């Protein structure tokens, strides 16, 4: 098992290229099931979750090819991958594949929309709460699907195809919105999705589906209207830059001090997080190349934060922000309203000397003047990178175990950080 070793105390200076967004790439890949033609996705990140989803799609009959390097490509150029689902050979997504990654459950919608039937295992995946699939299934029932649960599998049928309908989500759901959007593109008639998620990744999917011939209006707002079409074509689409990766590195710079250009990052996709960073003492400026983040000399100020659906502060940056607040000059309160067990990083941050008290859905963080390096354990994707941020500022050496969590969502993390002066290395092997 690989580990990451970090010696803290270095400031970060230089350029960090931002990769294509994992949370956009996965639904875009799944959308390839909606058409017989080739969907070409540019700026694809090289991540464990992407590789796993390629395996799942391959099981349904999707062929994929990766374009070779082009002249002038740097190591940081995202890959271009061509997905072709000419013939769906299997409408079952088995437990052994789906159990490794929750997002793979989303194949349910395009399989049902295109084939009129599907059988998908109930998901496993992340250890951060229940994340039920009921909202997602409710959306498909509103479009005329018949849903049954049999032996741990969800079986969907729509023998005569899906029919446009009204979908009212009682709470904002990104997975549910992705699902409803994909299913509605091939449903007969018009569908209206209310209380839709407004995340930039939803807009990215809608943009891609529109290029494929879908008729969608309102993506990015809380009401999306989709006029169904009989079939979709192939298209070429570039995956949006990863706003969570950009926010993570921005917090690392705020934590260590220094001056870094986050190349390709877009401010409009993470404004709430940038506002919070500025309140904590970092300076953030937009440039033609991306976002420049620096903190030189100024201390870290405590800021209270509450996670909520976009455009508010994202739950996927909560752990990273908590790491930053462990060094603030005062007390901050961080309230997690999206996932119920998303404080698993607290006990590991405490091993580095952080002072954090939990009261229900709120973490009360009292900043200290220093953290001490220690061996720690990654528990999930975002928690693991919060330990990296804390370790960069801790005295001495920190070893982070179970870094396979990091590889699910961060492309070449050690290279990007060491390129800006961090003392970080991956140790391969058991541990």
Binding residues: 22-23, 102, 131-135, 316, 338
- In the 8-state DSSP scheme, what is residue 107? G
Task: Give buried/exposed letters for 186-216 (b at 16+ CB in 10 A, else e).
Answer: bbeeebbbebbbbbbbbbbbbbbbbebbbeb
Q: CB neighbours (10 Å) of residue 89? A: 10
- In the 8-state DSSP scheme, what is residue 31? G
The CA distance from 197 to 136, in Å, is 12
Q: What are phi and psi of 13, to 5 degrees?
A: -140, 130
> How buried is residue 115: exposed, middle or buried, by Cβ count under 10 Å (0-12/13-18/19+)?
middle
Choice among 118, 126, 208, 420 that is catalytic: 126
Query: Would you say 142 and 112 are in contact if contact means Cβ atoms under 8 Å apart?
Result: no
> How buried is residue 87: exposed, middle or buried, by Cβ count under 10 Å (0-12/13-18/19+)?
exposed
Q: What angle do CA 338, 153, 23 make, to 5 degrees?
A: 40
Residue 370's SS3 state is coil
Binding site, annotated residues for UDP-N-acetyl-alpha-D-glucosamine: 102, 131-135, 316, 338
Residue with the two structure tokens 């437990």: 95
Binding site, annotated residues for phosphoenolpyruvate: 22-23
Query: Would you say 1 and 404 are in contact if contact means Cβ atoms under 8 Å apart?
Result: yes
**Known catalytic membership, residue 420:** no
- Active site amino acids: 126
């Amino acid at each position: 098992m690989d580990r990451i070793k970090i010696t803290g105390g270095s400031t970060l200076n230089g350029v960090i290229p931002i990769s294509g967004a994992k949370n956009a790439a996965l639904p875009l890949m799944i959308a390839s099931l909606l058409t017989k033609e080739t969907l070409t996705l540019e700026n694809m990140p090289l991540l464990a979750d992407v590789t796993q989803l390629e395996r799942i799609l391959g099981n349904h009959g999707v062929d994929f090819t990766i374009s070779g390097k082009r002249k002038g490509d740097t190591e940081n150029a995202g890959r271009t991958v061509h997905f072709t689902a000419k013939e769906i050979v299997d409408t079952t997504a088995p437990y052994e594949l789906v159990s490794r990654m929750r997002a793979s459950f989303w194949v349910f919608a395009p399989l049902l929309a295109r084939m009129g039937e599907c059988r998908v295992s109930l998901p496993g995946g992340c250890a951060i709460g229940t994340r039920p699939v009921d909202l997602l299934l409710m959306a498909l029932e509103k479009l005329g699907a018949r849903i049954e649960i049999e032996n741990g599998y969800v079986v969907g049928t729509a023998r005569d195809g899906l029919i446009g309908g009204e979908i009212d989500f009682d709470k904002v759901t990104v997975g549910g919105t992705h699902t409803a959007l994909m299913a509605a593109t091939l449903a007969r008639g018009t569908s209206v999705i209310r209380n839709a998620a407004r995340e930039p990744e939803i807009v990215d999917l809608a943009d891609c589906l529109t290029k494929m011939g879908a008729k969608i209006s309102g993506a990015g707002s809380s009401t999306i209207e989709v006029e169904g079409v009989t079939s979709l074509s192939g298209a070429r689409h570039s995956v949006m830059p990863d706003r969570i990766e950009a926010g993570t590195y921005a917090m690392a710079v705020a934590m260590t001090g220094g001056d870094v250009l986050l190349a390709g990052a877009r401010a409009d996709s993470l404004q709430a997080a940038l506002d919070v960073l500025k309140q904590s003492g970092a300076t953030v400026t937009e440039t033609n190349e991306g976002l420049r983040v620096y903190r030189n000399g100024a201390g870290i100020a405590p800021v209270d934060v509450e996670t909520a659906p976009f455009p508010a502060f994202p739950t996927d940056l909560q752990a990273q922000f908590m790491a930053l607040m462990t060094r603030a000059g005062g007390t901050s309160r961080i309230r997690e309203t999206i996932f119920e067990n998303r404080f698993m990083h607290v006990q590991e941050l405490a091993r580095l000397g952080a002072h954090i008290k939990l009261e229900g859905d709120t973490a009360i963080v009292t900043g200290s003047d220093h953290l001490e390096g220690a061996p720690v354990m990654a528990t999930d994707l975002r928690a693991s990178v919060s330990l990296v941020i804390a370790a960069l500022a801790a005295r001495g050496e920190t070893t982070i175990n179970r870094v396979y969590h990091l590889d699910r969502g961060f492309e070449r993390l050690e290279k990007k950080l060491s390129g800006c002066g961090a003392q970080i290395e991956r140790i391969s092997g058991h541990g």
